[in-house]
Amino acid sequence: MSVFSSSAEGDCAPERIVIATRESRLALWQAEHVKARLEAVYPGCRVELLGMTTRGDQILDRPLAKVGGKGLFVKELEAALLEGRADIAVHSMKDVPMVMGEEFALACVMAREIPFDAFVSTRYASLDDMPPGAVLGTSSLRRESQIHAQYPFLAVTSLRGNLDTRLRKLDEGQFDAIMLAAAGLRRLGLESRIRAVLPAEVSLPAAGQGAIGIECLTTRVDLVNCLQALADAETTACVAAERAFSRSLAGNCETPLGAYGEMHAGRMVLRGFVAMPDGSRVVRGEREGTALEAESLGRALADDLLAQGAGEILAELG
């Protein structure tokens, strides 16, 4: 458990913080990044990592949507918070369930890395270069539905495992190309593997993609206050809008949907879509508002899509 004292100025001064993290290379990079930021803001703080292997990391022989979704990546970390073995948990925001338990707080969302998907291949320079029947690997129904809609001649197959495992499978020739989050590749110094960054018009990102979130217990108001030093206001607002959109449509790993918010001159533009997994039907929409309207903007965009028939798609998927 962390111990806090107050300085003469009244600022919270953590003496020790334990971070729960998955043990994949990317998750450890993110945890180390948070550790470095905390130590920079609070020089007297001792920050330690508690590495854990989650169910999501262990089950690799089935699509994520079939074994419980991305929540499998956070449950063990949340257990460590409840048991007092860790103070905070560091997550990729796209892995955080849209509905969190009341005992948990999303205390901080940090500045976003590039939020888009990356096209990675040893054979082709872009999706447009891939011939009919070429095999594209992805673990995401969101990516799969968008590829089916725009490149129906490609064979899209399931790709599981951490980032290094996915790249190895590509290099072994199991796939002609794969799609990954560009943020992870950049963070691990693997940007050279990116053949093309896919714009939102081709592959709209997942809610929260590219952003790091920090979770703690709701009762730890001390931690929530201290973590604000690491928060990024624009990213926080955009991710809140994206998550509100997804939450309103009951978005999870089995729902092919995406949401992406951008700030332009103080205004937020939020785009979203819902699709059938095979891309046979796609419903899209866009809303604009202020950062203060983030959550209501997300809900309004969800309502727009429901009015266009998204409910029928969700009913079929349900």
Tokens 């999706």 correspond to: 127
Please name every residue paired with 49 in a beta bridge, in sequence order, or none if there are none.
19
What gap in Å lies between CA 126 and CA 124, rounded to an integer? 6
Q: Which positions ≥6 away from 314 have C-beta within 8 Å?
A: 249, 250, 255, 274
Q: Where in 199-304 does DSSP place strands (E)?
A: 212-217, 257-264, 267-275, 282-290
What gap in Å lies between CA 226 and CA 237, rounded to an integer? 19
Catalytic site residue from 61, 87, 95, 303: 95
Q: Which residue type is seen at 164?
A: D
Q: Mark out the alpha helices in 115-217 (DSSP H runs).
A: 141-150, 163-171, 182-187
Tokens 């703080």 correspond to: 45
Secondary structure class of 80 (helix, strand, coil): helix
Q: Measured in whole angstroms, how far is the alpha carbon of residue 136 from the centre of its chain?
A: 21
Tokens 């799609």 correspond to: 179
Q: Which positions ≥6 away from 181 have C-beta within 8 Å?
A: 92, 94, 117, 118, 205, 209, 210
Running DSSP on this structure, what letter comes out for residue 25?
A: H
**In contact, 51 and 23? CB cutoff 8 Å:** yes
**In contact, 288 and 281? CB cutoff 8 Å:** no
176 given a catalytic annotation: no
Angle of helix 25-41 relative to helix 163-171, nearest 10 degrees, comes to 140
Q: Which residues are catalytic?
A: 95
